[in-house]
Chain A
């Protein structure tokens, strides 16, 4: 690699230099396009209403103020929704990962070791081909009496087939000698799974954990259809109602001075930023494990 680079340096022509410069400019622009919208939102949430309305705010706060955040802090609906989402994430991720591991483990065995494997894989595979659709799914959840319960947000997506496939491939890469040795020592399958497979696949567990976390954090539609009233909405469903349907103009609690600093728009930006914050904080992990998982999942064939 290094030799190659040295060599090509010798050959660096003018055309190559121009190409390099253009390439860097294009990529920088692309990177900025992906980052700046969020920066714009952050800047607006930290600016005064007058500055935002007059269009002065680009990527840096103008007339810096944290009034919007103070306003959000007092908005109970936001924190209630945040609480629902946190609960959903904790329960949902735990269940997802648990089910994923115990489903993937038997399926990672060969057909010789586990003869009905094919039947099971087909039954999971079929769910990737055919989808009951919105109304039948809704009616199913309704018939089970889950409407308005947090379980309606957790159970329908409890077995993420893509993560199962990922986990299964990780398990297959475990050297079989480990299991054989454990069997000789008299360990059962549950013990083998708990004491050998799970400890050595921590990285892959982290991956599916993050898959589940992003899924639960970002889901919004199930909240809208399965919850009975807006006070039960998880965060993203709540944001959908305030951003898209943009009702609830800032209530009359504002006095004159505040009006200059806070508006529905800056408050909206503050809420958008607050609900993106966890993703940004988890981003280093997301990038590391998510990317690894995607690569494992897609180029294995």
Chain B
């Protein structure tokens, strides 16, 4: 066991990679190619924006990364664990991955703090969960996470009384409380107004500064350029751009969408 761990740890530390997709291919009958040979790797403290028009394969990519959809070919490894090796590996890998949803998915009747504590569920003994008696350390961690996203003063406000942007920031705090290495966010700001979207992306940005990796699919190119370190663009299930955000100008990104439009026209 120790030997196995000794082998795994230097490998992940050496490559410094928290999430890796290798040759992901997924086809849906009869002839829709959702993903074709998609490979990329994410390092700690990196904010990767995934861009692409509707139907480019973004959602399939996120479903494969989280183990919700099994790819036809290819592997996904999270913190060095191959998630398709066994259900146990998937379960352990999931603890290192936090998900952010477009619809926030908070428990409406619980205050923000108790929603953040959802991130601790996997670690806390079952009796504490059933009785809702979390250890002081867990509660303080949750408060710190709320502070990180700027909502400490809302800790005891019910989730359904918060604005959309605030709810999404609570969801980010929940991801932080999970102590995840990677945050996967499928369209995290698609249902928010521009101002809320900016505060949510800033919260994700501050998570990145603590060493967490973020992979987020976004609709708006200018948001990707403003907040992401790296942009991965999908088109027709293939990666067509994978480059540092700073090296891409707005026009070259917009071509991802234009070319796709031309292709669909005839």
A binds B: no
Q: Which residues of A contact B (CB under 8 A)?
A: none
